[in-house]
Amino acid sequence: MKNRIFILIGPPGAGKGTQAKNMASLKDFVLISTGDLLRENVGKKTELGNTAKSYMDKGELVPTDLVARMIKANIEQNIGKNGFLFDGFPRDLAQNTLLSDMLEEFNLDIDKVIYIDVKDEVIFERLTNRRICPKCKRVYHMRYNPPKNDELCDDCKVSLIVRDDDKIDVIKKRLEVYHKLTQPLVDYYEESGKITKINGERAPKEVEAEIIANM
Ligand code: ADP
Ligand code: AMP
C-alpha cells in the first residue's frame, strides 16, 4: 500500500503539535515532528542536538542539512506504513524541495497540506502559557487545556516543562522567521491546490473536527 503524506503548517503556537498527536493516532500515521526530534537531541546532548540548540534558543531555523538527516532516517525506518504526518517540516521553500526529492526516491507525493491559521496577537498568550510533557510530548495550556493534576502530565505523571524558546523575545523572533520564510511556502502550496486552510482560533475539538473532515 502507498504511504499517504500529510503536512501540518502554520505559525508557532497555531496548535500543530496539539492536533498532530491526535491525527496521527487516529489515522495510524507515523508522526514526524522536527521540533520534537530536535528537542530530543538537545535533551540527550547529541552532536546534532548541541549544534541545533544554539539556533533554537535564538528562534532561528536550524540548518536544513541537520534536519534532513533526521527526516531521511525516519522515513527510511517507516516506509511501508500507513502514512506520514509532518509537523514543523518543511519550514521554507528549500526544505520543500528537499522533501519532494526524498519522496520521489520512494515514489511518493504530498497528498494534503493542512494550514492552521492563527493571528500573531493570539500566539503570545498561547505560547507564554504552554507546558509540554518531556516524556510523551503532549502539549498543555495552563488555562485552555490544563493538566488534571497541578503541573503533571495526565498520561505519564511526570512534571511538565516550559520550552526554552517560549520566551517573549524568542517568540517574536520565531514569528518573524515564520512570516519571512514559512509564509511563502504557504503561498506556494495555495497555488498547488493541495492546501486546506483551517481557522485555528476555535476550541481544539472544533479545529480537530474540521481537520479530520478534510483528511
Ligand atoms: P504549535 O505546535 O503549532 O507550536 P501547540 O500545539 O504546541 O502549537 O499549541 C500552542 C499552545 O496553544 C499550547 O499551550 C496549546 O495547549 C494551546 N492550544 C493549542 N490549540 C489551541 C486552541 N485551539 N485554542 C486554545 N489554545 C490552544
Ligand atoms: P517547533 O517545535 O516546530 O515550534 O520548532 C521549534 C524550533 O526548532 C524552531 O524555532 C527551529 O529552531 C527548530 N526547528 C523545528 N523544525 C525545524 C525545521 N524543519 N527546520 C529548521 N529548524 C526547525
Per residue in 91-150, pLDDT (tens digit) is 999 999 999 999 998 888 999 999 999 999 999 999 999 999 999 999 999 999 999 997
Domain range for residue 14? Answer: 4-119+175-213
**Does residue 43 form part of some domain?**
yes
**Does residue 60 form part of some domain?**
yes
* pTM, two decimal places: 0.95
Ligand 2 pocket test, candidate residues 34, 67, 175, most atoms within 8 A of CB:
34
CATH number for the domain including 49?
3.40.50.300
Pocket lining: 15 vs ligand 2, CB cutoff 6 Å:
no
**Does residue 162 form part of some domain?**
no
3-state secondary structure of 83: strand
**Beta bridge pairs of residue 30:** 84
Q: 188-199 burial, b for 16+ CB within 10 Å, e for fewer?
A: ebeeeeebebbe
**Beta bridge pairs of residue 161:** 132
**Does residue 163 form part of some domain?**
no
Q: Residue 130: which of 20, 22, 15, 209 has the closest Cα?
A: 15
**Does residue 149 form part of some domain?**
no
135-152 pLDDT, tens digit each: 999 999 999 999 999 789
**Integer Cα distance of 165 and 29 in angstroms:** 28
**Does residue 106 form part of some domain?**
yes
Count Cα atoms within 13 angstroms, Cβ side, for 50: 3
Confidence (pLDDT) at 1: 57
**Integer Cα distance of 152 and 169 in angstroms:** 27
**Does residue 170 form part of some domain?**
no
- Looking at the 3D structure of the chain, how many domains does it have? 1
